[in-house]
């Protein structure tokens, strides 16, 4: 507690004391003091200089590290040591502010071209850096170009805070650091926020401005179309960028880079590999989880952060089945930081005054600064060369009569007398005479006349070159431009951020917008859940599973994977269910929605867009997927031992798989086909080239646990190669057979291919041997491939064998033409199926 004191008696005051009380207006005093404080913050802390793009603390850090010799080819030192040197000699503020500025210059996600090479934990977008006692640092290679030639009088030096040392007022800055690395800062009454750009693009624009000082904004934007953010991402909409380049103020939207991927056979996900500038993955995960818990986001089952040093950022957002990935992505852009806005505010110091500059002015200020730096450097070097030439010329004069020079020096009483005698006898300047007097005797041996004359000639040539640069503005600007080009070539990197004039949409989104009522894409947002649209479920000969996005007719031509064809096709809907029948007689219930969607097609879809059946369905050892089938129709099933069965669709509703036929030992299912109509013919084709055609009415429908009945009578060692169903009235149906040698590898033995009209084969009774379908020639003893049906689908864009081979009317038991001729003519189509 303060102690109260009594006022001193009036008689105790000094006799010469004169009271002087000054009345000051508080408002004026506050205004003046606040303006001084504001100017100090603006000039000395928060805003970067337009010439080198650095704030005072950043400039002092780089300069002090350069003075400490912390070059890229030397070891790292503790960050605390750098902070202490900067704080003690140049920047009398808190160590935290210095270290924070140092950390930012080392972060490759903050700066497009980092200036400090950090060793240790310098933080991330979600976490702060380690303490300065734990981290180490040195200058990055690019930072040397900012501090080069400081010893050549290229910039002015000013006193430090206590007038004991000097520091550069601005750095030489061999590249436009302000535009390349951007800047951010909050001053008093103003703030700056500048986006990073690509080094090569900015330097290209600067060189164009050097060559064309009257260049317009449009001219420069051909080189600098927009910012290039360190973390990549997408910039959507360029109008705000042009406004910022024109006026110094504007904004643009940044978005994450997202790909829709098939995470597994049944699961689709959104994979994020790039995020908006200064947005960390942990922040994105937190916001997404909050939005999901708050019922703002739906359709997301999980989000996993798989980011590592080797592969970089990778956020996997798993989606629930039945949700449109594009619609979920639009929700993510709306409710999470995966879309962010960047406001450009190009406030910077020009001649000590804060100004808001556009792209042209920013580059102009830098170019003028760089021209002034190169001019001062050239003048400094010219002076050094002239001084050296002056000394060399004096030595040449003295070396001609070196013995006399030595005698003059030895006979002089003192140095001053020797200097005067040398100057008078040889007409030397005082500087030349002093230089000769300071030489040691051992140095005289190396100053031969030839060497001195050679050095004199070289100095005169260099002086002429430097004077030519100073005497020609065009040559000076050309030198600046060429040096900028060298920097771009050495440190330039490809663009990371993609610029989009407008939002890029997927084909699905584009189709939805095209269907808008006004035709201008102003329809309601995309449906979040997948609608129950008609589609095709497809199984291919190579074992790929997929579904289409619609139920357009499946044409016989179009893009497809090489040598792949439709093996089984079922009409269904996106939210429907179908059955899959395996070779061991199991039937599995499949959700069509879980299947990957082939891209919208023109004619035939690309079959490479599916997933392998083994990844989608759990198959037993030695089991294979035979066909897809509808769950609500009577199916006909044929086996390798000639058994046939028609099964009623009374499948269990509470099970995902069940037995659909009881197989005998070593038997397996070879074909499945809808056979609900009594006018359908069932067809067996065996390896011994026997074909049996009989009416489905001859096979009574059985329950799913039955074992079937005899379909075709097989000879010894024969087995069924193909089983299918054909409409009895189908006049376009054909039978395709390819014969070869049993046991031979495909393509190693001759064979024959044959196509015959299906109508040429008579119907027989069930449990008979059928008729001959193919007569074997020499070297042929088995069928390698057999198929019966309507309009076979081709294995490539070439016409199929069935369309090219002559139909053997009246010769159903005849031989085929050589397989080599068919393949040479139409391509190696080796699988057949019915797409209808």
- The CATH number that applies at residue 480 is 1.10.268.10
Q: Does residue 61 belong to any structural domain of this protein?
A: no
Residue found under tokens 């879309």: 339
Range of the structural domain that residue 473 is part of? 384-491
User: CB neighbours (10 Å) of residue 7?
Assistant: 6
Residue 695 has pLDDT above 80, yes or no: yes
Q: Does residue 545 belong to any structural domain of this protein?
A: no
Indicate whether 836 and 765 sit together in one domain.
yes
- SS3 state at 692: strand
Residue-wise pLDDT tens digits, 522-558:
444 567 777 778 888 888 877 888 888 777 766 554 5
Indicate whether 686 and 811 sit together in one domain.
yes
Indicate whether 458 and 515 sit together in one domain.
no
Higher pLDDT: 33 or 321? It is 321
Indicate whether 312 and 424 sit together in one domain.
no
Mean pLDDT value across the chain:
84
pLDDT at res. 385: 95
- The CATH number that applies at residue 833 is 2.120.10.90
| 184 beta partners | 193
Indicate whether 800 and 780 sit together in one domain.
yes
Domain's final residue, options 475, 507, 529:
529
Range scoring the smallest mean pLDDT among 139-148, 542-551, 580-589, 660-669: 542-551
pLDDT at res. 497: 94
Residue-wise pLDDT tens digits, 735-787:
888 888 877 665 565 678 888 888 888 899 898 998 998 888 887 888 888 88
Residue 379 has pLDDT above 70, yes or no: yes
Residue found under tokens 């102009």: 364
Q: Does residue 656 belong to any structural domain of this protein?
A: no
Q: Does residue 575 belong to any structural domain of this protein?
A: no
**Beta strand residue intervals within 85-238, DSSP E:** 116-119, 136-139, 157-159, 166-168, 183-186, 191-194, 234-236
Q: Does residue 93 belong to any structural domain of this protein?
A: no
Catalytic residue numbers, as ranges: 134
Indicate whether 709 and 832 sit together in one domain.
yes
Give the number of residues written for the chain. 836
| 351 beta partners | none
DSSP assignment of 541-554? TTSEEEE-SS----
Backbone φ/ψ region at 727: left (φ over 0), alpha (ψ -120 to 50), beta: beta
How far is CA 753 from each of CA 630, 704, 736, 776, 783, rounded to the nearest angstrom?
Answer: 32, 37, 8, 11, 10
Q: Does residue 305 belong to any structural domain of this protein?
A: yes
- Please, are residues 218 and 72 in contact by the beta-carbon 8 Å criterion? no
Domain count, the chain: 3
Q: What angle do CA 201, 204, 209 make, to 5 degrees?
A: 130
Higher pLDDT: 668 or 796? It is 668
pLDDT at res. 594: 80
φ and ψ of 558, to 5 deg: 145, 180
Indicate whether 408 and 311 sit together in one domain.
no
**Structure pTM?**
0.74
Indicate whether 484 and 504 sit together in one domain.
no
Residue-wise pLDDT tens digits, 773-826:
888 888 788 888 888 887 544 333 223 344 444 444 345 666 666 655 554 433
Q: Does residue 630 belong to any structural domain of this protein?
A: no
Question: CA 629 to CA 587: how far, in whole Å?
Answer: 9
- The CATH number that applies at residue 510 is 3.30.1360.40
Indicate whether 275 and 420 sit together in one domain.
no
Indicate whether 322 and 465 sit together in one domain.
no
Residue 319 has pLDDT above 80, yes or no: yes
Residue 446 has pLDDT above 50, yes or no: yes
Domain's final residue, options 468, 491, 514:
491
Q: How confident is the model at residue 84 (pLDDT cuts 50, 70, 90)?
A: very high
Range scoring the smallest mean pLDDT among 51-55, 206-210, 449-453: 449-453
Q: Does residue 661 belong to any structural domain of this protein?
A: no
Domain's final residue, options 491, 513, 541:
491
pLDDT at res. 129: 95
- Please, are residues 654 and 700 in contact by the beta-carbon 8 Å criterion? no
Q: How confident is the model at residue 727 (pLDDT cuts 50, 70, 90)?
A: confident
Indicate whether 402 and 319 sit together in one domain.
no
Residue 512 has pLDDT above 50, yes or no: no
Burial of 288 (0-12, 13-18, 19+ CB in 10 A): buried
Indicate whether 412 and 290 sit together in one domain.
no
């Amino acid at each position: 507690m303060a102690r109260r004191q009594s006022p001193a008696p009036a008689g105790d005051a000094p006799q010469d004391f004169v009271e002087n009380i000054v009345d000051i207006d508080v408002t004026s005093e506050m205004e003046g003091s606040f303006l001084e404080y504001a100017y100090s913050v603006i000039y000395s802390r928060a805003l970067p200089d337009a010439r080198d793009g650095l704030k005072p603390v950043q400039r002092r850090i780089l300069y002090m590290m350069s003075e400490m010799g912390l070059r890229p080819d030397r070891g790292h030192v503790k960050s605390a040591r750098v902070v202490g040197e900067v704080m003690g000699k140049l920047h009398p503020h808190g160590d935290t502010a210095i270290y924070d500025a140092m950390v930012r210059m080392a972060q490759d996600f903050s700066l497009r071209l980092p200036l400090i090479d950090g060793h240790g934990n310098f933080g991330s977008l979600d976490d702060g850096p380690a303490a300065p006692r734990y981290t180490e640092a040195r200058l990055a290679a690019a930072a040397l170009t900012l501090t080069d030639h400081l010893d050549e009088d290229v910039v002015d030096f000013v006193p430090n805070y206590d007038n004991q040392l000097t520091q550069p007022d601005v750095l030489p800055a061999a590249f436009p650091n302000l535009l390349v690395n951007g800047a951010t800062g909050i001053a008093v009454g103003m703030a700056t926020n500048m986006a990073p750009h690509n080094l090569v693009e900015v330097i290209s624009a600067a060189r164009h401005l050097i060559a064309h000082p009257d260049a317009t904004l449009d001219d420069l934007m051909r080189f600098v179309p927009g910012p290039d953010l360190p973390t990549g991402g997408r910039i959507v909409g360029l109008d705000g960028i042009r406004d910022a380049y024109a006026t110094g103020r504007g904004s643009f939207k940044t978005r994450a880079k997202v790909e829709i991927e098939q995470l597994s056979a049944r699961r689709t996900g959104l994979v994020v590999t790039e995020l908006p500038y200064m947005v960390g993955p942990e922040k994105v995960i937190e916001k997404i989880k909050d939005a999901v818990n708050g019922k703002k986001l739906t359709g997301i089952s999980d989000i996993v952060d798989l980011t590592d040093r080797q592969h970089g950022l990778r956020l996997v957002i798993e989606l629930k089945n039945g949700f449109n990935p594009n619609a979920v992505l639009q929700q993510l852009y709306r409710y999470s930081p995966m879309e962010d806005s960047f406001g450009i505010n190009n406030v910077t110091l020009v001649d000590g005054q804060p100004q808001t500059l556009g792209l042209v002015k920013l580059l102009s200020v830098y170019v003028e600064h760089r021209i002034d730096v190169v001019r001062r450097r050239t003048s400094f070097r010219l002076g050094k060369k002239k001084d050296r030439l002056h000394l060399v010329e004096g030595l040449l004069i003295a070396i001609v009569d070196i013995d006399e020079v030595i005698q003059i020096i030895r006979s002089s009483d003192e140095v001053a007398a020797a200097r005067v005698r040398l100057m008078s006898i040889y007409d030397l300047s005082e500087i030349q005479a002093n230089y000769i007097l300071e030489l040691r005797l051992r140095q005289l041996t190396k100053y031969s006349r030839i060497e001195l004359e050679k050095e004199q000639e070289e100095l005169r040539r260099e002086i002429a070159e430097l004077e030519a640069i100073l005497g020609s503005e065009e040559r000076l600007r050309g030198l600046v431009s060429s040096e900028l080009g060298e920097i771009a070539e050495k440190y330039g990197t490809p663009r990371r951020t993609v610029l989009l004039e407008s939002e890029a949409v997927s084909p699905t989104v584009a189709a939805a917008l095209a269907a808008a009522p006004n035709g201008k894409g102003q329809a309601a947002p995309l449906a979040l859940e997948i609608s129950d649209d008609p589609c095709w479920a497809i199984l291919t000969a190579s074992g790929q599973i997929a579904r289409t996005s619609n139920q357009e007719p499946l044409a016989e031509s179009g893009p497809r994977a090489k040598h792949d064809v439709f093996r089984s096709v079922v009409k269904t809907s996106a939210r429907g269910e179908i059955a899959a029948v395996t070779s061991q007689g199991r039937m599995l219930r499949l959700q069509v929605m879980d299947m990957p969607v082939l891209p919208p097609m023109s004619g035939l879809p690309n079959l490479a867009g599916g997933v392998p059946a083994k990844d989608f369905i759990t198959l037993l050892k030695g089991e294979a997927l035979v066909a897809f089938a509808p769950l609500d129709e009577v199916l006909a099933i044929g086996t390798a031992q000639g058994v046939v069965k028609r099964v009623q669709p009374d499948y269990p509703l509470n099970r995902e798989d069940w037995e659909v036929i009881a197989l005998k030992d070593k038997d397996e299912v070879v074909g499945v086909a809808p056979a609900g109509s009594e006018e359908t013919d069932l067809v067996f084709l065996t390896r011994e080239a026997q074909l049996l055609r009989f009416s489905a009415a001859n096979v009574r429908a059985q329950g799913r646990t039955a074992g079937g009945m005899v379909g075709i009578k097989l000879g010894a060692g024969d087995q069924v190669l193909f089983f299918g169903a054909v409409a009895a009235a189908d006049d376009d149906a054909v039978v395709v057979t390819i014969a070869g040698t049993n046991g031979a590898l495909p393509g190693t033995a001759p064979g024959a291919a044959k196509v015959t009209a299906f109508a040429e084969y008579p119907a027989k009774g069930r449990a008979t041997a059928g008729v001959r379908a193919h007569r074997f020639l020499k070297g042929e003893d088995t069928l390698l491939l057999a198929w019966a049906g309507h309009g076979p689908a081709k294995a490539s864009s070439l016409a199929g064998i069935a369309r090219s081979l002559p139909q053997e009317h009246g010769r159903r038991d005849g031989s085929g033409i050589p397989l080599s001729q068919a393949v040479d003519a139409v391509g190696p189509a080796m699988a057949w199926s019915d797409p209808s």
